Amino acid sequence: MNLITGRQLYKNYKEYDQQDVEICGWVKSNRGSKNFGFLIINDGTFFNPVQVVYDKELDNFGEAAKLNVGTAVIVTGTLVATPEAKQPFEIQAKSVEIEGSCSFDYPLQKKRHTFEYLRKIAHLRPRANTFQAVFRVRSLVAYAIHKFFMERDFVYVHTPIITGQDCEGAGEMFQVTTLDLEAAVKKGEINYEEDFFEKPVNLTVSGQLAGETFAQAFRNIYTFGPTFRAEESNTTRHAAEFWMIEPEMAFADLEDNMEIAEQMIKYIIGYVLEYAPEEMKFFNQFVDKGLLERLHHVAESEFGRVTYTEAVKILEQHNDQFQYKVSWGIDLQTEHERFLTEKVFKKPVFVTDYPKDIKAFYMKMNDDEKTVAAMDLLVPAIGEIIGGSQREDSLEKLEKRMAELGMDPKDYDFYLDLRKYGSTRHSGFGLGFERMVMYVTGMANIRDVIPYPRTVGKCKY
């Protein structure tokens, strides 16, 4: 079939002026009168729909006038540029064929629906305006990320989803098994020798450690894949299944790490502003009024830098404004993070050199032996969007830290090998993909930026 897309029409309508075109789409609205009518259709390739005008000359005028919202149609007609009208062109129909009718109980009638309602029909909601915009922007953000790293010669690595590592945050992991659980209960025994991998395995919570093994071979790598947390927290920012981007760079220190993170965030914002201007305007108008201004501001700012210790000194002066009081050693809460980036710096800011006790074992110990070379990026309206660090590259220090934390080095033999065989100063960070999509769209609930969200008690389809 040779059907011109809505996007092609919008891009090239001047070329098509006065020419016959064949297009397709789903009916968004249909206003008919006795002698003519307007059909608004959209084929999903472009945010703005196409207006089709039809009149009595149409063979099936009576049928066309009765088309329900949701019907799939194929229209041939003449494209006419309409420089004076709201839309830049319209199609004067010569034929309107029904590709697929739409039942009268179509749940997406032309009216506003709440996001809660739409979540219950996740298989239909991408047809609604907001979700057309969300999921196209989600797709563009994903591509922008690949493009950013590929232009810089990073190697994309698929780190494993099923993992035998269960060391970090084991309590929050999903177990993966092929055991017949009912049979095991009857037998009164779990025999892992009968399981697919002959031992208990889990879904990954992070590709970082595997990513590091590839950075020590390719210098610059990134992962982009699903990760899983079996956290029971029922918030607007947590899902059990989400995607993460984890770059990892050999011969790179904390400075290099922040520089790449800053460039990446700006690149993504620039990309969606350039390639989804209609969607971004929609979000700014209907979802989050200050969105465009905020994003432009971020794209143009030089991100701030402050150590955790300095940040705590600043925040302590405003402890009266916080629910959770600040003092050296605490993990910063969203209220503190937002205060720093929104009120103090008024732009994105990297907080660096956190106390070792609130950060992961693999972060590089600073000379003070109290802090580690960590960095979190805080952005207005969200708080933390990126967390990263320089990694400990000294075998001795890493082993010492693991011993302090009671970790078994045998579980990390592959990871320790990296420090034995040509260790390098190296750094990396993690970006929660959905957080980024929320950030650039202004959508407030993570369930509304994931095609089929998985949260506690919820796994439909």
Residues 385-444 that bind a copy of itself (CB under 8 A): 393, 414-415, 417-425
Among 53, 167, 176, 381, binds a copy of itself (CB under 8 A): 176
> Which of 229/338 has CB closer to a copy of itself?
229
Closest to 11 measured CA to CA, from 281, 277, 268: 277
The answer to whether 18 touches 10, Cβ cutoff 8 Å, is no
Contact 65, 98 (CB under 8 A): no
CA 410 from centre of chain = 35
What sign has the CA pseudo-torsion 153, 222, 432, 334? negative
Q: Which is nearer to a copy of itself, 223 or 371 (CB)?
A: 223
Alpha-carbon radius of gyration of the chain:
27
434 Cα distance to chain centroid = 3
Which parts of 234-263 interact with a copy of itself (CB under 8 A)? 240-241, 243, 250-253, 255-256
In the complex, least distance from residue 417 CB atom to a copy of itself, rounded to whole angstroms: 6
Site for a copy of itself in 321-360 (CB under 8 A): none
Among 16, 26, 345, 354, indicate the residue that binds a copy of itself (CB under 8 A). 26
Sheet containing 155-157: order of strands: 155-157, 220-228, 241-250, 426-432, 383-391, 371-379, 349-355, 304-307
Assess 139 for contact with a copy of itself (CB under 8 A): yes
170 near a copy of itself (CB under 8 A) = no
Least CB distance to a copy of itself at residue 350 (A): 18
Among 62, 226, 290, 409, binds a copy of itself (CB under 8 A): 226
Which DSSP string do the residues of 247-307 spell out, in sequence order?
Answer: EEEET--HHHHHHHHHHHHHHHHHHHHHH-HHHHHHHHHHT-TTHHHHHHHHHHSPPEEEE
- Position among 13, 89, 148, 228 found at the interface with a copy of itself (CB under 8 A): 228
CA distance 174 to 230: 6
Answer yes or no: are the C-beta atoms of 360 and 334 closer than 8 Å: no
Q: Which residues 36-95 are close enough to bind a copy of itself by CB under 8 A?
A: 43-45, 70-72, 74
Residues between 182 and 211 with contacts to a copy of itself, criterion CB under 8 A: 182, 184-185, 188-190, 196-199, 201, 203, 209-210
Residue with smaller CB distance to a copy of itself, 86 or 186:
186
Tell me the closest approach of the beta carbon of residue 311 to a copy of itself, in angstroms: 26
Sign, CA torsion 431/437/442/448: negative
Within residues 264-323, the interface with a copy of itself by CB under 8 A covers: none
Q: Does 100 bind a copy of itself (CB under 8 A)?
A: yes
Closer to a copy of itself by Cβ: residue 103 or 317: 103
